[in-house]
Amino acid sequence: MMRIDIISAVPELLESPFRHSILKRAQERELLAVQVHNLRTYGLGRHRQIDDYQFGGGAGMVMMPEPLANCIDELQAQRSYDEVIYLTPDGRTLNQALANRLSLKNNLLLLCGHYKGIDERIREEYVTLEISIGDYVLSGGELAAAVLVDAIGRLLPGVLNDETSALFDSFQDNLLAPPVYTRPAEFRGRQVPEILTSGNTPAIEEWRYEQALQRTRERRPDLLDESE
């Protein structure tokens, strides 16, 4: 079973994503365990403080090192983590290849930034991998963590009812997925491509590959450049 621990200043943001659909199934089948830890439990003083002003001035608060260190130390005393991941806009951009690699790990620890981020000394001492889900800024790392867990969790053997499904997702082999169709065969004058109802499996697979290649050329030619 893969285990993912998540440290968050706002754990409520992560309640819904893990209670439905594929991630719920993964946990029910005991293929994935996700545990969210409230950073305020480790906060300082009567008010459980977890943030403070920046040294040098500037707008925005910074997450303090002590609560994070105390939480991480406690978790690392219980188990060894393959990666300690900080979700941050200046991290490595998440892609399918990275999700594939992380799905092979056993234990992951995710740190969700908030406010202006976490004290740099935590990044230096604990973090082994920094990940961004895109070139934009969110209010915190919780939604990014949910995206990462979903991308990883669906790849675990036994999670999807059809285990071959993930092999044909967009970005596997640096190609976008081809168009897909279901019943009815005719909808408002638009017909399903005849090849898909032919029963000729090799021809269908060739058609799908050509469609994926064409769609990638049109919409994401950079993916083809990366594969060359």
pTM score, two decimals? 0.90
The answer to whether residue 172 scores a pLDDT higher than 60 is yes
- Average pLDDT, whole number, for the chain? 93
| DSSP secondary structure letter of residue 44 | B
Distance separating the N- and C-terminal Cα atoms of the chain:
36
Distance CA(171)–CA(151), nearest Å, equals 12
Say what the pLDDT of residue 227 is: 62
The one-letter amino acid code at 217 reads R
Render 85-145 in DSSP notation, one character per residue: EEEEEEEEEP-HHHHHHHTT-SEEEEEE-BTT-B-HHHHHHT-SEEEESSSS--SBSHHHH
pLDDT at 113 over 80: yes
SS3 label, residue 219? helix
Backbone angles phi, psi at 138, to 5 degrees: -105, 170
- What digits encode the pLDDT tens for the residues 20-62? 999 999 999 999 999 999 999 999 999 999 999 999 999 999 9
The pLDDT of 123-152, averaged and rounded, is: 97
The Cα–Cα gap between 141 and 113 comes to 5
3-state helix, strand, coil in the chain (%, to 5): 40, 20, 40
Task: Return the minimum-mean-pLDDT range out of 1-15, 34-48, 52-66, 160-174.
Answer: 160-174
> Which pLDDT does position 171 carry in this prediction?
61
Report yes or no: 15 and 142 within 8 Å, Cβ to Cβ: no
